[in-house]
Amino acid sequence: MDQKQKTPYELLGGEAVLRNLVKRFYEIMDTLPEAKPLRDMHPTNLQGSEEKLFMFMSGWLGGPALFVEKYGHPRLRARHMPFQIRKAERDQWMICMVQAFEDVGVQEPLRSELLHSLLRLADHMRNQEE
C-alpha cells in the first residue's frame, strides 16, 4: 500500500500513536494555565473524556469507527451545546492539540493537514455570539 492510499489514521501511526496523542492532549489541558477555563468545563476525572475523544478521532481519521459503534452519530455540535464555546475556548483547545501534536512528533505534511481540519472542527463547535 503506498502513501496515497493510506488513511490519516494509518499515516499517524494507528491506535498506539492516537492514544498517545489524546493522552498528551488531556495532560496539557489539565496543567496549562491558559487552558484552565477549558479544563473547568470537563469532569474532575478526564478518563471518560479521553476515551471518547480517542474513539471519535479513530473514526474521524479513517480508522475503526469506535465512537459511532458505541454511541451512534457523533452530533458534535449538539453534544457540546451545554457548554459555552467561544473563540477563547476554541483557541485553548487548539493550543493543547498543537502542543500534543508537537510532543508526539506528528510530522509534516500530515501535521498541518490534520491541525487545519481540527481547527475547522473546533471552530464549528463555537456556539456563543461574540
Q: Is the peptide bond before 43 cis (omega within 30 degrees of 0)?
A: no
CA 110, CA 62: separation in Å to the nearest integer? 14
Q: Is residue 18 part of a domain?
A: yes
Tens of pLDDT, residue by residue over 73-116, are: 999 889 898 999 999 999 999 999 999 999 999 999 999 999 99
Domain CATH code at residue 91: 1.10.490.10
Q: Is residue 3 part of a domain?
A: no
Report the number of distinct structural domains present in the chain: 1
Tens of pLDDT, residue by residue over 35-73, are: 999 999 999 999 999 999 999 999 999 999 999 999 999
Neighbouring C-beta atoms of residue 25, cutoff 10 Å: 25
The dihedral formed by the CA atoms of 35, 41, 43 and 46, expressed in degrees to the nearest 10: -40
Q: Is residue 2 part of a domain?
A: no
Q: Is residue 129 part of a domain?
A: no
Q: Is residue 119 part of a domain?
A: yes
Does residue 107 or residue 4 have the better pLDDT? 107
